[in-house]
Chain A
Amino acid sequence: MQSPLSPRTLLTRTLAAVALLLLVMVACSLVGTEPISLKAALIGPDQPASPNLDHEILLRVRVPRILLAAIVGAALAGAGVVFQAILRNPLADPYILGVSSGAGLGAMLAVISGIGWTVWGRSPIAIFAFVGALGTVWLVWTVGRITGRFHVTGLLLAGVVVNACFSAAIMFLTSIAKSQDVYATVFWLMGNMAEEDAFVLWASGGCVAAGLVSLFFVSAPLNAISFGQTDAQSMGIHVERVQFLALAVSSLITAVAVSLSGLIGFVGLIVPHAVRLVVGPDHRQLLPLSSILGAMFLVIADTIARRVIAPAQLPVGVITAMIGGPFFLMLLMRYNRKVCWLA
């Protein structure tokens, strides 16, 4: 019998994808408003005679931002895979259980209240968004549990309703807020990258990486769960345990991503689909490859966002939807005959 996915195949493909991601990151670090030369930058920091500008731009500006985009992209795409599997719904994305509106409401409250303090150098917007996102998922989870013994439909409905309520609250706050506050929040809601310091990158990158690795260990049971809870249970899988762990971890990394860069849409929806169209639905492969591809996708999108109307910058969320949409439709038409994922 031919194994549908051997460890060797998975490792080869993952390593190839990582190599490609590194290549893309290096290439994107050379693109920007200011042309820089990699050779000059690699000479090292300031020479005695003159400061090495190329080095400064690369290390202080470009690299942190590219790393940030990679972290956020990986988190969103990985979480998207998990949400689609657990909710057994191809339309699910990391925001569906209320992360987006919860984070948005948190950000809005932070701006309006005019809080000035920071935690570990993070702005109040980021902190409020993080707390809002996780709090909302917790609320939706609790409501979903009350509606029945962990019912996927109940969870989805609770997510939709909570999203609608919180969106209304955001609109209410928008309509009574001062105009410069509104501008700050709207810009944040569109999804936006900024240069972050090393500590933030290490902490969030570590958190996302640990989350994705732990999700990989439930990816085989996720395959069975996407056939339904009863099926998975009768196959001897601890469905509730896997579901809780997967939802908690993917919500956490989504909240981290959202607190870093606002609501970047589309990555968590289309990257998993695009990867699934090409490599099939096995989550052991889908999860690592989607994360890497999500990172790559967001790095490219952010590079375009900071280049296209330079020296001004576009919110990256605009780019992800604008290039992601048509690209996805192309894939859909090309592969639709080969893989019919929806009967």
Chain B
Amino acid sequence: MRNCIQLDHVTFAYRPERPVLMDVSLTVEAGTFLSVVGPNGAGKSTLISLLAGLIRPQAGTIAIDGCDVDSYARRELACKVAMVRQEHVPTFGFSVIETVLMARIPHFSPWGFERQADRRIVADALEMTDTARFASRPLAGLSGGERQRVFIARALAQDTPILLLDEPTSFLDLHHQVGIYDLLRSVQRNKHRTVVAITHDINLAAQYCDQALLLQPAPEPPATGQRSRPAEAQERYTVGSTQQVFRRDEIERVFAIQVFSARVGTENVFLPLGKMAKDAGLGGSRPDHRDRSKPIENT
């Protein structure tokens, strides 16, 4: 299958005793919009870095378009996968168009200048993200939402079938959050791109994505001296359609919170409720959550 992503028993650990991703196997078909959801430290960004070829798994294989990620030269991989990191501002005052044009650097002429084809691709990317209006303005002078669109434009200008995004809406207001998701959805639909986006907003993910991947953080390793428990056979992730993955019991268990959920239209909406929330009584079916009450380590 062309341009699909296949993970086969992928394990990755920053520290060997506590793997972040453990034996993950999944297939993302070409043209899918997949959201990656999970608590901090569950390995969402790690997964994106693995897909972008920035790090290598300790076990298992990651294939893009049928070939192992490792087998691609860096430039070839950059023609398959583009990445948008969490929002940041560069040190020097590059303008919008200069930033977007950088995506074409591997295709520049030997003298370091863009070709006609590069200009066309960049113009398309600016057009699609509605950033052409302020193409000559410096990045630092833009609002967070505008800046995020520019980085998406840069990823689009890489002209790749696969787009990876790490929390594209985390610093944005509701208007811009919806704007970014509309943009991603239209890119997926009209340009037939595969989109993989990390998000903390389950409701938006449910509304916009086809598939969801819910990751759980690794359990705390047993303290030294204690006898280690038998390895949990249970898989630490759930993948499937948004309706299959975003279920109240799953969300409550993985995030160790109580939620109120209701079916609205075709998808569920989730309202997280803490103990002190006004409507705390609406959430949760199980009164006792002591087993998951340990704070989850923030990584």
Determine whether the beta carbon of A234 is less than 8 Å from that of B83: yes
Query: Would A236 and B74 count as touching, CB distance under 8 A?
Result: yes
Contact of A1 among B74, B94, B105, B123 (CB under 8 A): B123
> In the bound complex, how far is the Cα of B76 from the Cα of A276, in angstroms?
33
Complex Cα distance, B101 from A234, in Å, reads 14
Q: A235-B78, A235-B102 are in contact. Are A280 and B93 (CB under 8 A)?
A: yes
Tell me whether A340 and B140 are in contact in the complex, defined as CB-CB below 8 angstroms, given that A3-B114, A224-B105, A235-B103 are known contacts: yes
Task: Check A89 against B105 for contact (C-beta < 8 Å).
Answer: no
A217 touches B (CB below 8 Å): yes
User: What 0/1 readout, one digit per residue, does chain A (272-290) give for beta carbons within 8 Å of chain B?
Assistant: 0000100011101000000
Cβ-defined contact, A233 with B105, below 8 A: no
Expressed in whole angstroms, the minimum distance between the Cβ of A166 and any Cβ of chain B is 27
Q: Is the CB of B112 within 8 A of A282?
A: no
**A235 touches which one: B105, B114, B119, B122 (CB < 8 A)?**
B105
B268 interfacial by beta-carbon distance below 8 Å: no
Contacts of B114 in A (CB 8 A): 3
B21 contacts chain A at the CB level, 8 A cutoff: no
A interface list, Cβ under 8 A from B: 1-7, 84-85, 88-90, 216-217, 219-221, 223-224, 226-228, 230-231, 233-238, 276, 280-282, 284, 339-343
Once bound together, how far apart are the Cα atoms of A231 and B90, in whole Å? 11
Residue of A nearest to B164 (CB): A234
Dominant SS among interface residues on chain B:
mixed
Q: Contacts A1-B122, A223-B105; is A281 near B92 (CB within 8 Å)?
A: yes
Q: CA of A85 to CA of B92 in the docked complex: distance in angstroms?
A: 9
Contact present for A342 and B91 (CB under 8 Å): yes
Please, could you name 20 A-B residue pairs with CB atoms under 8 Å apart, sorted by A?
A: A1-B119, A1-B120, A3-B113, A220-B105, A221-B105, A223-B102, A224-B105, A228-B85, A228-B90, A235-B105, A236-B74, A236-B105, A237-B74, A237-B78, A276-B93, A281-B93, A281-B98, A284-B113, A340-B93, A342-B93
Mark contacts of B90-127 with chain A using CB atoms, 8 A cut-off: 1 yes-contact digit, 0 otherwise.
11111101110111011010111110000110110010
B75 and A236 contact, CB distance less than 8 A: yes
* B112 adjacent to A236 (CB under 8 Å): no
CB-CB < 8 A to A217: which residues of B? 110, 112
Residues of B within 8 A of A (CB): 52-54, 74-79, 81-83, 85, 88-95, 97-99, 101-103, 105-106, 108, 110-114, 119-120, 122-123, 126, 135-136, 138-141, 158
CB distance from A155 to the nearest CB of B (A): 15
Residues of B within 8 A of A3 (CB): 113-114, 119
Question: What are the residues of chain A within 8 A of B90 when measuring CB–CB?
Answer: 88, 226-228
Give the complex CA separation of A236 and B90 in angstroms: 18
**B62 CB to nearest chain A CB (Å):** 15
Alpha-carbon gap, A226 to B90, bound state (A) = 7
The 3 closest A-B pairs by CB, nearest first: A236-B78, A281-B92, A1-B123
Closest to A8 in B: B113
Contact assessment for A237 and B101 in the assembled complex, using a CB-CB cutoff below 8 Å: no
Q: Is the interface of A mostly helix, strand, loop or mixed?
A: loop
Structural contact, A89 and B91, CB atoms closer than 8 A: yes
Find out whether the CB atom of A4 lies under 8 angstroms from the CB atom of B98: yes
Write the nearest CB–CB distance from A75 to chain B, whole angstroms.
21
Chain B nearest CB: distance from A225 CB in Å? Answer: 10
**Contact indicator A220/B112 (Cβ below 8 Å):** yes
Report chain B residues within 8 Å CB of A343: 89, 139-140
Instruction: Choose among A2, A88, A233, A341 the residue that contacts B93 (Cβ–Cβ < 8 A).
Output: A341
User: Once the chains bind, are A340 and B138 in contact (CB under 8 Å)?
Assistant: yes
Shortest Cβ gap from A177 to chain B (Å): 41
Which of B92, B101, B123 counts the most A-chain CB atoms under 10 A from its CB?
B92
Instruction: Please tell me if the beta carbons of B105 and A237 are within 8 angstroms of each other in the complex.
Output: yes
**Cα separation A223 to B94 with both chains bound (whole Å):** 9
Chain A residues, Cβ within 8 Å of B52: 234
| Selected contact of B106 from candidates A6, A89, A235, CB within 8 Å | A235
A7 and B78 within 8 A (CB) = no
What's the minimum C-beta distance from A236 to chain B, rounded to whole angstroms?
3
Q: Is the CB of B113 within 8 A of A6?
A: yes
Contact A236 B89, beta carbon cutoff 8 Å: no
A5 CA to B98 CA, complexed, in Å? 9
Q: Cα distance A84–B136 when bound, in Å?
A: 23
How far apart are the CA atoms of A341 and B136 in the complex, in Å? 14
Q: Among B52, B106, B126, which residue has the most Cβ atoms of chain A within 10 A?
A: B106
Please give me the residue from chain A that is nearest to B77 by CB atom. Answer: A236
Among residues of B, the one whose C-beta sits closest to the C-beta of A341 is: B93
Inter-subunit contact A4/B106 (CB<8 Å): no
CA of A280 to CA of B92, assembled, Å: 9
A282 to B95, CA, bound (A): 9
Picked from B74, B88, B111, B120, the residue with its CB within 8 Å of the CB of A7 is B111
| Minimum distance in angstroms from B138 CB to a CB of chain A | 6
B92 and chain A: residue at smallest CB distance: A281
| Bound form: Cα–Cα A94–B267 in Å | 58
Given A5-B113, A85-B92, A235-B82, 4 more pairs with CB closer than 8 A: A1-B119, A223-B98, A280-B93, A280-B94
